[in-house]
Amino acid sequence: EVQLMESGGGLVQPGGSLRLSCAASGFTVSSKYMIWVRQAPGKGLEWVSVIYSGGSTYYADSVRGRFTISRDNSMNTMYLQMNSLRAEDTAVYYCARMGSAGPFDVWGRGTMVTVSS
Amino acid sequence: DIQMTQSPSSLSASVGDRVTITCRASQGINNYLAWYQQKPGRVPKLLISAASTLQSGVPSRFSGSGSGTDFTLTISSLQSEDVATYYCQKYNSGPYTFGQGTKLEIK
* Distance, first Cα to last Cα, chain A: 40
Rounded distance between C-alpha atoms, residue B88 and residue B8, angstroms: 12
CB A17 within 8 A of CB A41: no
The pLDDT tens digits along chain B (107 residues) read 999 999 999 999 999 999 999 999 999 999 999 999 999 999 999 999 999 999 999 999 999 999 999 999 999 999 999 999 999 999 999 899 999 999 999 99
Beta-bridge mates of residue B45: B37
Sign of CA dihedral A9, A74, A34, A107: negative
Min Cα distance A115 → chain B (Å) is: 21
Listed in order, strand segments (DSSP E) in chain B are 4-7, 10-13, 19-25, 33-38, 45-49, 53-54, 62-67, 70-75, 84-90, 102-106
**Residue A5: HSE in the Cβ half-sphere, 13 Å Cα cutoff:** 9
| A115 to A17, A18, B23, B32, B87: CA distances (angstroms) | 10, 10, 32, 34, 26
Q: What are phi and psi of A29, to 5 degrees?
A: -60, -30
Min Cα distance B2 → chain A (Å) is: 12
pLDDT at position A101 over 80: no
CB count within 10 Å of CB B27 equals 11
pLDDT computed for residue B94 by the predictor: 87
Rounded distance between C-alpha atoms, residue B59 and residue B75, angstroms: 9
Q: What is the DSSP letter of A102?
A: S
Contact between chains at B96 and A47 (C-beta distance less than 8 A): yes
Work out the average pLDDT over A87-115: 95
SS3 of residue A83 by DSSP: coil
Chain B neighbors of A44, CB-CB under 8 A: 85, 87, 98-101
C-alpha R_g of chain B:
13
pLDDT at position A99 over 90: no
Q: Per-residue pLDDT tens for A5-51? A: 999 999 999 999 999 999 999 999 999 999 999 999 999 999 999 99
Rounded distance between C-alpha atoms, residue B78 and residue B105, angstroms: 10
Which of B91, B97, B100 to mutate to test binding with chain A, by most A CBs within 10 Å of its CB?
B91
| A76 to A47, A105, B37, B79: CA distances (angstroms) | 22, 18, 28, 39
Rounded distance between C-alpha atoms, residue A36 and residue A110, angstroms: 10
CB count within 10 Å of CB A10 equals 11
Share of chain A above pLDDT 70, in %: 100
Chain A neighbors of B36, CB-CB under 8 A: 45, 103-104
Min Cα distance A15 → chain B (Å) is: 25
